Amino acid sequence: MLTDLGEVRRLGELKAAENLEFRRYVSAHHWPEAPFQVIATEVSKSIDCTACANCCRESVVAVEAADIASIARHLGYDTARVEALYTAPGEEDSSRRVLKSGSAGCVFLSGNLCVIYEARPKACRDFPHAAPGAHTLGSRLESHLRWAARCPIIYNALEQYKHATGFHAKAG
């Protein structure tokens, strides 16, 4: 199991073209998502996310009103204060709110730990969106391929899924 973040990034980037070829292979052969989801669930049991936290450093987290309310309850603030202090308008849709982030990642990231872990937004609870039965945009193979160079769970699960499907990258 590969967990070194530098190697995950290096190999994930090196395999970007191979992963695109794999996506086409899966589509052409009508491989279902369920086996990948099972593999990812097993892989996640062997990975300590607090040793990584790349998802908290590199993603934009959309928050719904229910997420903001949960964070507010957790912090003992009112929702208006949480929205003002910790969220910003989304880039693609300014009517949506996203958690603020900076050079160190999410506003709620301290080292590799989430300071609102118990009240973290649904998008964070669901990451890496590979649970069996997940059928969201984030759970699609193309979304996982974008995370292959940043998430050890996704990288290892994709490599195992390639093997399980009998995929062999074309040379060159």
CB 57, CB 109: distance < 8 Å:
yes
Q: What's at 2, amino acid-wise?
A: L
**Amino acid found at 32:** P
Domain ranges of the chain: 5-56+128-165, 60-125
Share of the chain above pLDDT 90, in %: 76
User: CA-CA-CA-CA torsion for 153, 157, 158, 161, nearest 10 degrees?
Assistant: -170
Q: Which pLDDT score, from 0 to 100, does residue 72 have?
A: 98
Task: Work out the burial of residue 104: count CB atoms within 10 Å of its CB; fewer than 13 is exposed, 13-18 middle, 19 or more buried.
Answer: exposed
Q: Where are the alpha helices (DSSP H) in 29-151?
A: 34-44, 54-58, 65-75, 79-86, 122-126, 141-147
pLDDT band of 135, cuts 50, 70, 90? low
pLDDT (tens digit per residue) in 15-45: 999 999 999 999 999 998 889 999 999 999 9
Judge whether residue 146 has pLDDT over 70. Answer: yes
The contacts of residue 147 (CB under 8 Å, 6+ apart) are 55, 128, 154
Taking only the tens place, the pLDDT of each residue in 71-114 is 999 999 999 999 999 999 988 887 899 999 998 999 999 999 99
Neighbour-count burial for 53-82, b at 16+ CB within 10 Å, e otherwise = bbbbbebebbbeeebbbbbbeebebeeeeb
Give residue 131's pLDDT band: very low, low, confident or very high (50, 70, 90): confident
In angstroms, the CA 121 to CA 107 distance is 13
Please answer whether residues 63 and 98 qualify as being in contact, where contact means their C-beta atoms are separated by less than 8 angstroms.
yes
What confidence score (pLDDT) does residue 130 get?
78
pLDDT at 128: 86
User: What mean pLDDT is predicted for residues 2-16?
Assistant: 95
